[in-house]
Amino acid sequence: MTKPIYVLNGPNLNLLGTREPEIYGHDTLDDIRDALLERVDGRTLEFRQTNSEGELVDWVQEASRDGAAIILNAGAYTHTSIALHDALRACTVPVIEVHLSNPAAREAFRQTNYVAPAATATIAGLGPRGYHVALDAAIRMTA
Ligand code: CA2
């Protein structure tokens, strides 16, 4: 059986749809998950969110071992986490980084990115559609 595609979401993404819709849109994380489930094309998803850096590192390691690919929105850990960078560097499956907003067009503190140098690809600024693009790519890359 094909291995699952892991969709990993970092800190505060559980708040999507409740605040700052002008930046992050109106969809909740459950809405994003449900839309992805309609596009799985027979594949299975492990869709998760955590506010914990260590848990996110554990999940990256798990996904590298048990998954086919990782779609990762690391939230603010994107800009701070060398631990996450190291876990991604050790990863043996494709990693597609996703951001709802485009951090490159935002505050100076979002210009540091520890995920992108260890990722296969980055999609930013497309809102929830970025997750769809990432899933389509992950499915094709691991068919
Ligand atoms: O654009 C993205 O997807 C981000 O990963 C979102 C992170 C941010 O720190 C990154 O720079 C870019 C923030 C996620 C928090 O989302 C919230 C949603 C609603 C209310 C408050 C936070």
pTM for the full predicted model = 0.98
What is the distance between the alpha carbons of residues 14 and 18, in angstroms, rounded to a whole number? 9
Of 24, 9, 32, 6, the residue nearest 102 (C-alpha):
24
Give the strands of the sheet with 69-73, arranged side by side: 45-49, 5-9, 69-73, 95-99, 121-124
The pLDDT of residue 59 is: 99
Q: CA torsion 91→5→75→52, rounded to 10°?
A: -80
Number of residues assigned to the chain: 143
* pLDDT tens readout for residues 96-113: 999 999 999 999 999 999
| pLDDT (average), residues 38-57 | 97
Q: Which domain holds residue 50?
A: 5-141
Q: Where is 6: in which H helix or E strand?
A: strand 5-9
Q: Of 6, 77, 85, 99, which is the active-site residue?
A: 99
Residue 68, pLDDT above cutoff 90: yes
- Apex 89 CA angle, 93 and 139, nearest 5: 20
35-62 average pLDDT score: 98
Tokens 């848990």 belong to which residue?
55
Taking residues 136-143, report their average pLDDT.
96
The pair of structure tokens assigned to 128 is 């929830």
* Percent of all residues in the chain with a pLDDT value above 70, rounded to a whole number: 100
Interval between CA 121 and ligand 1 midpoint (Å): 19
Q: What is the CATH number of the domain that holds 15?
A: 3.40.50.9100
When divided into structural domains, the chain yields a total of 1
Return the SS3 of 121. strand
Tokens of 34: 């449900």
24 has catalytic annotation: yes
Q: How confident is the model at residue 48 (pLDDT cuts 50, 70, 90)?
A: very high
pLDDT at 5: 98
Residue 143 clears pLDDT 90, i.e. is over it:
no
Q: Whose Cα sits closest to atom 13 in ligand 1?
A: 75
> What's the whole-number average pLDDT of the chain?
97
Residue 1 is predicted with a pLDDT of 76
